[in-house]
Structure 1
């Protein structure tokens, strides 16, 4: 078994419940939540989307929303004015160009305001079951630490990770690595001494080595 697959299997055993941590019940909800999650946290987004989706349950409703009303709801996620503009514009494009339904291809999704490849792949992988790599900050950081890529450019990471695993594993590899990055392999002071892939990681000496002290660094994602 090669190192990438060994890491994948170890993380699968450690995080059997790994999944997208944004709350959603439809492709529309996941799309909007993912746009809102930029430079925010999933917990904060989940806290505001309860009210947002109650008031605007689909793209047609959001397309007709008053910007000031949306801003009031999503203010806690940060950059709320720009995000309000983006999600209302995306909803209008969905209504105008896709008959009110979130499109299910990469080429179509990236035509929506506020949607790049990463957001599109989140929606495709988790709402439509279409394989894709989502190079968020955690996947970029850990892919470099694991030695899978030597670049912080999202496109480079997407290609490199995609080449290491079969498409059927892409979505879950991303979930597992992201969960590990949020809980153990922090940007600062990673918990190396308590890491389940310590023996497989070329960056194992980067963080706290003492197992007890390292275990104290493991945490749930912040609010």
Structure 2
């Protein structure tokens, strides 16, 4: 699932970077992509991205199931973050400030597949709470976009879909990991504690991700 504001740095059409490979993967291991989102009224590039998605939906329809849910609102967002099996996030680094939709999805046991930016830098335990796309923030790649593309298709084909389709118990275990390891940390209770302790009273953080057990 991919549901959020449609704008250039979010790269909603990233999934179509290599259409031939996407089709090959879908033929061997069928899956569906569900899009939802709106562009700001003055974001013309964002509107063009939505038009491009509709074009891809039409052209790829003989090979791959793709849906775009129109009139995106809070109700659709709620159903998406609780109803899809995998949450996809492909922002251009380093422009993802947070990524709260992925946090909400994790609370519902939805696994995350994302570029290492925003919250996913902290939240990603590879193959445990989800999967990463591309290099970590402290590692520079000469051709980062190409690495992200290879990571995306490679992990989708060999790491994600085989487990989802053939090892359901393992997938359920990963869903429990998402809830058990991410939800206790990425929540509004901790946010308020840190605002109080660090912004208002200037005390060290009360809780860190290092406390998690893998």
Structure 1 length-normalised TM? 0.28
Give 1 or 2 for the bigger CA radius of gyration: 1
Higher-helix-fraction structure: 1
Greater RCO, CA 8 A, separation 6+:
1
Richer in strand (by share) = 2
